[in-house]
Structure 1
Amino acid sequence: MAVLIGVLMLAWRAAPVGAFGPEDVGMFPPTAAVKPYFNFDGKGFIIRGKRVFIASGSLHYQRVPRALWKSRLLKMKRAGFNCVQTYIFWSYQEPREGQFNFKGRHNLGAFLKLVHSMGFYAILRIGPY
C-alpha cells in the first residue's frame, strides 16, 4: 500500500501542469497554498514541517454503531495506527435529493471530531454510493 501511495505521489509530482488536458490550467491552477501544512518530498509525507509515516486503517462509521466508534478507534490506536480512512457514501448522508441525515450513526462531523480528538489523521474517501 505504501508503495502504491508513493508511486501515485511521484506520478502526481512528475506530471506538468496541464498534463491531462489544456483545461487543467484553468481548473487547477498551480498553487503552493497547502505546502506549509502538507507536502511530499519523494521520501515521505511532511505534515506541519515534520516527517510523518502514515499507518492507516479503515473504520467505516456508517457500518459501526455510534456507541462503538471510540472503542474501535482505541483498538486502532493500540495497534499503532495514526490515521483512519473512511468511506463517505453521500447517498447515506443524503438518501433523497435535498433530504440530509447527519444524526446518530450518520453524524459524520461527530465521527471526524472524535478521530481528531484521539490524535488521528483522516483520509476521506468520498463517493456517491
Structure 2
Amino acid sequence: MDIQPSRNLTDRLLNSRSGESGPLSTGALIRTGIWSICYFAFYFAQQVAELLAPLLLILGLGWYILPHIVNAITTSAASADPQAKDIMNHVAGTLPTHLQIGSHLLTPGSLMFDGFLLMGLAAIGATLSALAARNM
C-alpha cells in the first residue's frame, strides 16, 4: 500500500510546482465568479417572485370578489331597516374598481395577471439558476 505524502492544498489545486495551469486557473476563477453572480441574480429573482406571486393573486381575487359579496348582502337585505340598507349601499359604492398610483393603473384583473407573470418569472429563475449552478 503506497501512500503519497500530502501536498499543500494550494499547490494541488494550482499545480504551481509543475508550472502547469491547474483546475483553478485565472480563466476558470473568472468564469466561476460570473456564473456565481448569475446564479445569485436568478435565484434572488425566483425567491422574490415566489413571495409576491401568491400575494398578488390573493389580493386581486379578493378585490374582485368583495364588491360582489357586498352587493349580494345589500340586495338580500331588502327587507331590512332602510337606514341599514342606505349604509350598505354607501359601503358598496365606496369600493374602488381601480386604483391610479402615479402612472400605474391597478385593477383586480391586472393584479391577478401580474401574479401569474411572477409565477412564470419564478419558473424561469429556477431553470436559469439550475443552469448556472451546473456551469459553475
Higher relative contact order (CA 8 A, sep 6+): 2
Higher share in strand: 1
Rg bigger for which structure?
Answer: 2
Using the size of structure 2 for normalisation, the TM-score is 0.22
Using the size of structure 1 for normalisation, the TM-score is 0.23
